[in-house]
Every structure is written in structure tokens, then in C-alpha cells.
Amino acid sequence: MKLFEKINSGIYIIAEMSANHGGSIENAYQIIEEAAKAGADCVKIQTYTADTLTIKCDKEPFRIKGGLWDGYTFYDLYNEAYTPWEWQNDLKRKCEEVGIDFLSTPFDNTAVDFLENINVEFYKIASFELVDIPLIEYTASKGKPMIMSCGMASIEEIQEAIDACHRMNNRNIILLKCCSQYPAKFEDMNISCIPDMIQRFGVTIGLSDHSMGSLASVVAVSMGAKVIEKHVCLDQNVKSADSGFSMKMSEFKDMVNDVRNAAIIMGNPSYKLTENEKSGLNGRRSLFAVKDIKAGEPFTEVNVRSIRPSHGIKPKHYNTLLSQKAKHNYEYGDPIKADEVE
């Protein structure tokens, strides 16, 4: 798949809108426009209603305790935060207009069917749904790339989600390391899992970054992450369920630059001299005559030194040279010739 190849060809950056439109489609359009200007590859939304995620119930298990959403019921939170389905085809068209990809997270089969009808090209499974194997199977059965966040998941649960995709003959899988805190604390993020996940699961690994700032995303890229997902919001103060841990667009642009530069800095394992380094070779040390030396005279610590530039033989020959006599005449400042140590 061309899109899957694109995602795997470099660093792929997803701007997660989530609830940060604040209930305004104009805000949603602006987020898409600014994400594109900032250099994101994709804008992601979420496709659910309160009724597709939970039930309207005030009993204790349905009440959120602590964190940004303390005191909410699940139903009230999702009812406030959702992105109206009637917007979503227009949002997809807006993404196409500004030249970035459109992605959504479905939370039930009806959402998958809806997204199929508007021809999405790939799917995201949220961390909390990683254990919903029937949902993963249904989504994977559409044959499109699957990006799955792994917050809270054990190794066994991650493998079960991968196996669910495989049962649907879908191997276009990307896993995102994730700490399901809002915001995530640095000490809880464990980015060092990324190299282990690459080796253990044999798929492309990225980071769904809920921490504040861009440092975690930069570190993740240095550890091998190929996909970065970040919640973003407008610079103006649009209050939403997710604004408290989302990155403002002005900061997001800097993060995109930092992440892409981190990938450039990483490069590839190579000890080959770069073209830009070659101009510095002249500054290396080599062996030079620092007094006049006649052919047949011995080389000594007085008449030969290791100095810059690099026109003589390498300093590693110095001790060998001191046990020999000169084959050539040298004037002060002449480089020692290579045949002196043949």
C-alpha cells in the first residue's frame, strides 16, 4: 500500500485534534490548516458518540476520579468531547485541500462502517480499545493499515491485538508506545521500550506522546520511532476536554522541526568519511621535519615531530621512524615521505 510505504519511509507526524475544536467546525478547519503549515503529515480525529462508547449511568464505576476529568461521568465527558459525524467528511476534504492525510479512531463497528463510507485510507486503534479484539478484527478486515496505541498494554495484550489483525490477513501494522496519562510524566514514559518493541514485534514502532513539550518525541525518534502522534490545539484559548495536555500550534511547529532534525541527526550507522568532513582532513596531525635532515642521518625526537597539517605520514609511524635513517634530504617544514617506513 502506498500510504503504508509512505508512513514507513521516514518520520510520520500525526496532529491529533481530538476535542480541541471546542465544538466549532471553524476551529477544526483552522487546526487542519495550521497543522499543515507546521509540517504535519496527518490530522487525526475520533469517531464516536457517547452512546457508542458507554452508557448514560451515574453509578460509581462510571464516574471519573482524579486528573483532568475528575467528577465527570464517562457519558458526559464523551458527549462534550466528541466530533460530530456530520462534520467528518468535510474535515477529510479540508485535509485533502491542504495536502495532508486524514485519520480517525473508530470506537465501534458503526464508526468503522461510517469511515469506510467516506473512504478513509487507514485506521487508528486507541490504547483503551487495544483489548477490544472483536473491534480490532472488524477494523482490520477492511484491509487498511492499522495504527494501534499500546498504553496500559502488557506484552501479551499487544501480541493478541497483532494476532487479531493477522487473522484478518492484515499485516500492515504500526504500534505506538504510549503512556496513558493526561499529561504523562516523564518518569512514567519508558521510551526505552521502543527498541525492544521493534525487535519483539517486528513492526514499525512510534510514540503517542501525551507529555508536555517536545522532548519525549525527540528522544523517541532517537530510539527508533518512525511515527509521532501529538495532541494539538489552537494558540487562542479554546477550552476542551483535551486542551489541558495539548500542544499549542506555535509550539507544534517547533516540535515538528525538532523531530525531523532528530531523525537527520540519527542518520545511519556509518564510519565512512562524509563529504563535509573531507575538507577538515588537512587539520590532522602528521610527521614533519622540524630541522634540516640529510639523507643517511637518523631520525630523532629533535628533528621529527607530530604536528598539523596532514601532509606527512601518520603519527602511528613515529616510533618506527626513530629507529631508521632518512632516505631523502628534508628541509625544515617538509613532510616525511611514505617510503621512509616501507
Summarize pLDDT for 229-266 with one digit per residue, the tens.
Answer: 999 999 987 788 778 889 999 999 999 999 999 999 98
DSSP for 140-186, please give it: HTT-S-EEEE-TT--HHHHHHHHHHHHHTT---EEEEEE---SSBPG
Distance CA 160, CA 191 (A): 22
Per-residue pLDDT, 9: 83
Per-residue pLDDT, 4: 83
∠ CA 15-17-18 to the nearest 5 degrees?
Answer: 130
The SS3 of residue 28 is helix
Distance CA 55, CA 125 (A): 20
What pLDDT band is residue 2 in, cutting at 50, 70 and 90?
confident
H/E element, 205: strand 204-209
Q: Is residue 1's pLDDT more than 70?
A: no
**pLDDT per position as a tens digit, 174-222:** 999 999 998 999 999 999 999 999 999 999 999 999 999 999 999 999 9
What pLDDT band is residue 41 in, cutting at 50, 70 and 90?
very high
CB count within 10 Å of CB 167 equals 13
Q: How many residues belong to the chain?
A: 342
Closest CA to 161 of 152, 179, 173: 173
Distance CA 185, CA 192 (A): 15
Burial 196-233 (b: 16+ CB within 10 A, else e): ebbeebebbbbbbbbbbebebbbbbbebbbbbbbbbbb
Task: Name the one residue in this structure whose C-alpha cell is 484491509.
Answer: 143
Distance CA 201, CA 340 (A): 57
Distance CA 149, CA 342 (A): 62
Distance CA 139, CA 168 (A): 9
Query: HEC string of 240-271?
Result: CCCHHHCEEHHHHHHHHHHHHHHHHHHCCCCC
Lowest mean pLDDT among 25-29, 65-69, 186-190, 267-271: 65-69
Cβ atoms of 254 and 214 closer than 8 Å? yes
Distance CA 173, CA 162 (A): 8
